[in-house]
Structure 1
Amino acid sequence: MGLTGSIGAGKSTAAALLRARGLTVLDADEQARLVTAEPETLAELEAAFPGVVRGGALDRAALAARVFGDAAQLARLNAITHPRVRTRMSALEAEAAARGEAWVVQDVPLLFEGGLDKSMDAVLLIDAPLETRVARVMARSGLSREDVLARDARQMPADEKRRRATLTLDNGGDLAALEAQLGAALRELGLAPT
């Protein structure tokens, strides 16, 4: 199953709730951090974006400054990192299947944008009103409103995500409301007792 949502929607909160219910959740962002710490990947990133590797580590802020807002540079970055992340995610999913797990959740922020929804049995979308999402991201990251809106604009529109998702949870309320919706969604998918 895929788990996705626009920036600030609460996808990480939903992932934590799914883990608490005993589901294996594979985090694409975590795998991307691991991939970009590998010497081979760092060498490719430095060759493509000189100056983004400092002291043997990726300077994420410098890389973001180089690629965000430049579609060609972002595509170049994705060509280096995405295949490696997908390989790691596939290996982790295979390990879970070997353990006998029938369902594994892949937490992928750009699931639809990367066309990964086509390989999922179901897609759970976490959504929230734009102003709620902007306020959350500004509070947690220190990004300006303009930066958050720019990042949101580079993602697929929420209406299109809702159209493509198997189920959509509205995370505009409190944690209890999200937990209740998540429970109902898991029952609908046959992953929880009724």
Structure 2
Amino acid sequence: MGTAEPSPAQLPPRRLGLTGSIGAGKSTVAALLRARGLTVLDADEQARLVTEEPAVLAQLEAAFPGTVATGKLDRAALAAQVFGEASRLAQLNAIVHPRVRQRIQALEAQAAQSGARWVVHDVPLLFEGGLDQGMDAVLVVDAPLEQRLKRVVARSGLSREDILARDARQLPAAQKRERATVVLDNSGDLPALERQLETALRQLGIHPAGQSLG
């Protein structure tokens, strides 16, 4: 006797990677996708939650003295110790990333149980971390450099030099565009971005309510 084919609800969800250079508008697109009923797994949010766990905080304080105070992570102090230091950053990633992956896998399993056909993985360093290899499609949000700089300065207070330094440590925007399944140009207004997103979802076969059309 043959094995029964799994029902659509039993199939693992397909993965849509979402990424973009600093200031491109990735968070805006993530919010638009959530509003359309898709499950969006935010890697940065999960990393923040991981670094609130007491066991992780203990490891971080041991590896990076002076970065934990009164049971909370001093993110600025940690950034000062690892920024631009490849070996220190690798040490940090070795502590945090495995736990982030576990949380993401658990959330993806929950989405599958609820019948989601697609799950969005919102990952700033999707290409840099090689995570695009595990995606069924990749959506890249982009905008001109000067426009991105203005946005980040306005919301963060960082200097142009700081933002440019961070941007330089990411894969160049042009290369992200080349490797994308679909590119959203966020140089215009929100309605223009929404129109592009609707077209992208249709192109990928994703129903606005989060269910595959295919």
**TM-score, normalised via structure 1 length:** 0.97
Opposite residue 44 of structure 1, the aligned amino acid is: Q
- Is residue 178 of structure 1 aligned with residue 183 of structure 2? no
Conserved 8 A contact 1:5-1:11: yes
Partner Cα distance (1:62, 1:6) in 2: 24
Q: C-alpha displacement at 1:36, in angstroms?
A: 0.3
Aligned to 1:128: 143
CA RMSD across the alignment:
1.1
SS at match of 1:100: coil
Partner Cα distance (2:102, 2:148) in 1: 30
Amino-acid identity (%): 75
Opposite residue 24 of structure 1, the aligned amino acid is: T
- Is residue 62 of structure 1 aligned with residue 77 of structure 2? yes
Structure possessing the higher radius of gyration over alpha carbons: 2
Conserved 8 A contact 1:96-1:104: yes
Q: Which runs of 5+ in 2 are unaligned?
A: 1-15
Aligned to 1:38: 53
Partner Cα distance (1:87, 1:115) in 2: 17
CA shift digits 1:144-194 (9 cap, x unpaired): 100000000010111111111111111111111110100000000011379
Q: Which runs of 4+ in 1 moved over 6 A?
A: none
Decide which of 125, 138, 156 is 1:110's aligned counterpart.
125
Q: What does 1:84-99 align with in structure 2 at a 5 Å threshold?
A: 84-99=99-114
- Is residue 15 of structure 1 aligned with residue 43 of structure 2? no
SS at match of 1:2: strand
**TM-score, normalised via structure 2 length:** 0.88
Number of equivalent positions: 194
Aligned to 1:137: 152
Partner Cα distance (1:51, 1:10) in 2: 33
